[in-house]
A and B are shown apart, each in its own frame.
Chain A
Amino acid sequence: MTLALEAVALRKRYGRTWALSDFSVSLPVGRVAALVGPNGAGKSTLLQLAVGLLRPSAGDIRVMGWSPRAHSQQVLPRVGFLAQDVPLFRGFSISDMLQVGRRLNPRWDQATATTRLQRLGISLSRSVGHLSGGQRAQVALAIALAKRPEFLLLDEPLASLDPLARHEFLKELMEAASTDGLTVLLSSHVIADLERVCDHLLLVNAGRLQVAGEIDDLMARHALLVGPQVEPDVVIPGVEVIKSLRNIRQTSLWVRAQRDDFRVPAGWQIRDLSLEEIVVAYLGNPDANAFPAPSLEGIAG
């Protein structure tokens, strides 16, 4: 199983602040992964480290098996990046921007990019400065995809887009992702955006990876248990409590099932948690972690 992104004990410091401390992650290829976390958690830092814009202070990071800074010639042609705030050259037309991509990359699919932009009603002769936020994002996405990358990283691509523009952007992204093997990692601090589009979640909190795993699996393993008032130290077998809320009448527990045969205790109700509720629970409890159980896939595959 190839890993699109692998980090081991990654650390990155700006001055005296540690943006990432002891950060480790393994993201398999083919996933559409959400990188979520509060502002300042280290999401943008991780993405920039992955494309070689930053150099780690310590630890190791590899993209498709290569170090992005030391082996940029192996990584960059296979990786597409959409930076935060979508930087495009002022005064350039869209076709100028496509020219830039064409001349700076070994592989370039001009036809798909122009078709896509025409389909979206964005004329190639327009100046970059006259585009709306949504259109800029689409242009930047078209440029990143025209490179035919294997791995696409997007730094808060939806941040300044209105709901319609967000929807349009995600549709284009998903259409591209339905091509075999494209791995996507996109960051946002709004989870609702990503829930329908991503199948994998990475939660970064205060420079550390707190939650990682398939979203379906996370949703299946987490639940809200509501029951009678109990003592704080009462242990419910088979679950780890992430968050709890008590009043004199009832106890609410946000839990992760540790075993597949977990049963709801008598007198308790269970309901599913949305992804956002799961994330919020973990953000409130930085010591709690959820990582996938090691699988045998790597050995057999």
Chain B
Amino acid sequence: MTWVIWRQHRVEAVCAALGFVAATIILFYSIQLADSVRVSLSSVGQSDALVAFGDRVGAAATTTTFALLCLPVLVGMFIGAPLFARDFEHGTYRLLLTQSITRRKWFWMTSALLLVPIAATAAWLGVLGTRWSEALGSLSNQWYQFDEQGLAFASYVVFALSLGLSAGVLLRRAVPAMAAAAAAYVAVRAFVEVFIRPQLQPAVRIGQDAPIPDGSWVFSNTAYTDSSGRTVSADKVNQLLQSAGAIPGTVADYLHAHGISSWVYYQPPGRFWAFQAEEALIFLVLAAVLVGVAAFVVQSRSD
């Protein structure tokens, strides 16, 4: 059966391999560039170094980020979606399922031969991504490359594949499955990143002017409370500031003088890997559910 699966999907396998090779090359190049630029700037002052670094590494970094963001959805669309959809669409499932294999075996062997190598390769890319993030060094923040490294990245790839695969099983047509998988991937990823990730662990609250550890993930919105600890809305604060005209000293001191404390929320750097693991878990569980549903449908669907 292995031979049959390979022979059926060898074009996709080669394309996937090429895609991963391209991603590896981009990463290696970016890592090497970042390392060498950092070394050459080590003798320069801090703020100059930051600007210079950004100038020379910026383009490569953007390309790398873009490539790694796109990779999961491309894999899901072009490898996952057609996997089963093509056999249904072209009627060849009528040939396959009337040889002597069971539906269960057909589904699991095909899925495994797809998922396992790609998951392994994605894990490898995740490691490279971490290395790249480190290469950008203290001049960048690892939280900015959260999506492009480690367990989280690998889990996105597995999730996208599972989405594609189950869309193919449910919709039975390659193009609609590709579209559905892409749309669903973007929606879920965006949702998790915007709404779930910040809450994975309760954020640390700190006064606005207090020092925040390097490499933290600082949330952009400032929170305000009055002297009794109740929340004050940002609108009220804005009104107060506007009616004040010119403010001597810092905004925080001014607000403090009016009984309002400003707070900033952040996630400390030490939590980075825990966050990676938790987010990866979410996507891996979703992937498992999707694959399970697809298996059930292939086994039990009455047509």
Q: Which residues of A contact B (CB under 8 A)?
A: 14, 48, 51-57, 72-73, 76-77, 79-81, 83-85, 87-90, 92, 96, 99-101, 103-106, 147
Residues A53 and B98 in contact, CB atoms below 8 Å apart = yes
B94 adjacent to chain A (CB < 8 Å): yes
A101 to B4, CA, bound (A): 9
Provide the residues of chain B in CB contact with A76, threshold 8 Å: 98-101
- Nearest Cβ on chain A to B303's Cβ, whole angstroms: 5
Provide the residues of chain B in CB contact with A53, threshold 8 Å: 93-94, 97-98, 303
Provide the residues of chain B in CB contact with A85, threshold 8 Å: 91
Residues A72 and B94 in contact, CB atoms below 8 Å apart = no
Residues B102 and A72 in contact, CB atoms below 8 Å apart = yes
B90 adjacent to chain A (CB < 8 Å): yes
- Nearest Cβ on chain B to A108's Cβ, whole angstroms: 10
Known: A87-B91, A88-B95, A104-B100. A57 touches B8 (CB 8 A): no
B7 adjacent to chain A (CB < 8 Å): yes
B1 adjacent to chain A (CB < 8 Å): yes
B4, B100, B302 interface centre (most CB from chain A within 10 Å): B100
Listed A/B pairs (30) with beta-carbon separation below 8 Å: A48-B94, A51-B98, A53-B93, A53-B98, A55-B302, A55-B303, A56-B302, A57-B302, A72-B103, A76-B98, A76-B101, A80-B98, A83-B94, A87-B90, A87-B92, A87-B94, A87-B95, A88-B92, A89-B7, A89-B8, A89-B92, A89-B95, A92-B7, A99-B7, A100-B99, A103-B3, A104-B4, A104-B100, A105-B99, A147-B99
Residues B303 and A83 in contact, CB atoms below 8 Å apart = no
- Nearest Cβ on chain A to B140's Cβ, whole angstroms: 46
Total count of chain B residues near the partner, CB < 8 A: 23
Provide the residues of chain B in CB contact with A87, threshold 8 Å: 90-92, 94-95
Known: A83-B91, A87-B92, A96-B7. A54 touches B98 (CB 8 A): no
Tell me the B135-187 residues at the A interface (CB within 8 Å): none
- Nearest Cβ on chain A to B109's Cβ, whole angstroms: 11
A100 to B97, CA, bound (A): 12
Provide the residues of chain A in CB contact with B7, threshold 8 Å: 89, 92, 96, 99-100
Binary A-proximity of B1-15 (CB < 8 A = 1, otherwise 0): 101100110000000
Tell me the B258-290 residues at the A interface (CB within 8 Å): none
Provide the residues of chain A in CB contact with B92, threshold 8 Å: 87-89
Residues B98 and A105 in contact, CB atoms below 8 Å apart = no
Known: A89-B8, A92-B7, A96-B7. A105 touches B100 (CB 8 A): yes
Provide the residues of chain A in CB contact with B300, threshold 8 Å: 55
- Nearest Cβ on chain B to A139's Cβ, whole angstroms: 11
Considering the complex of A and B, which 5 residue pairs feature the smallest CB-CB distances, nearest first? A104-B99, A55-B302, A83-B94, A87-B91, A81-B98
Q: How many A-B residue pairs have CB under 8 A?
A: 73
Binary A-proximity of B93-135 (CB < 8 A = 1, otherwise 0): 1111111111100000000000000000000000000000000
- Nearest Cβ on chain B to A102's Cβ, whole angstroms: 9
A96 to B3, CA, bound (A): 10
* Known A76-B99, A105-B99; 10 more pairs at CB < 8 Å: A51-B98, A53-B93, A55-B302, A72-B102, A76-B98, A81-B98, A83-B91, A88-B92, A103-B4, A104-B1
Tell me the B202-246 residues at the A interface (CB within 8 Å): none
Chain B residue at minimal CB-CB distance from A85? B91
Contact of B99 among A84, A89, A101 (CB under 8 A): A101
Provide the residues of chain A in CB contact with B97, threshold 8 Å: 52-53
B3, B94, B102, B303 interface centre (most CB from chain A within 10 Å): B94
Provide the residues of chain B in CB contact with A80, threshold 8 Å: 98
Chain A residue at minimal CB-CB distance from B7? A96
A72 to B103, CA, bound (A): 9
Provide the residues of chain B in CB contact with A48, threshold 8 Å: 94
Residues A81 and B90 in contact, CB atoms below 8 Å apart = no
Provide the residues of chain A in CB contact with B4, threshold 8 Å: 99-100, 103-104
Binary A-proximity of B286-303 (CB < 8 A = 1, otherwise 0): 000000000000001111
Provide the residues of chain B in CB contact with A79, threshold 8 Å: 98
- Nearest Cβ on chain B to A211's Cβ, whole angstroms: 27
Residues B98 and A52 in contact, CB atoms below 8 Å apart = yes
A100 to B7, CA, bound (A): 9
Provide the residues of chain A in CB contact with B103, threshold 8 Å: 72
Chain B residue at minimal CB-CB distance from A144? B98
A62 to B98, CA, bound (A): 15
Provide the residues of chain B in CB contact with A73, threshold 8 Å: 100, 102
Provide the residues of chain B in CB contact with A103, threshold 8 Å: 1, 3-4
Residues A106 and B91 in contact, CB atoms below 8 Å apart = no
A73 to B95, CA, bound (A): 16
Residues A106 and B3 in contact, CB atoms below 8 Å apart = no
Chain A residue at minimal CB-CB distance from B302? A55
Provide the residues of chain A in CB contact with B303, threshold 8 Å: 14, 53-55
Residues A54 and B99 in contact, CB atoms below 8 Å apart = no
Provide the residues of chain B in CB contact with A106, threshold 8 Å: 100
A88 to B7, CA, bound (A): 13
Provide the residues of chain B in CB contact with A52, threshold 8 Å: 97-98
- Nearest Cβ on chain A to B195's Cβ, whole angstroms: 39
Chain A residue at minimal CB-CB distance from B97? A53
- Nearest Cβ on chain B to A9's Cβ, whole angstroms: 17
A57 to B4, CA, bound (A): 32
Chain B residue at minimal CB-CB distance from A101? B99
A54, A77, A87, A106 interface centre (most CB from chain B within 10 Å): A87
Provide the residues of chain B in CB contact with A84, threshold 8 Å: 91
Provide the residues of chain A in CB contact with B95, threshold 8 Å: 83, 87-89, 100
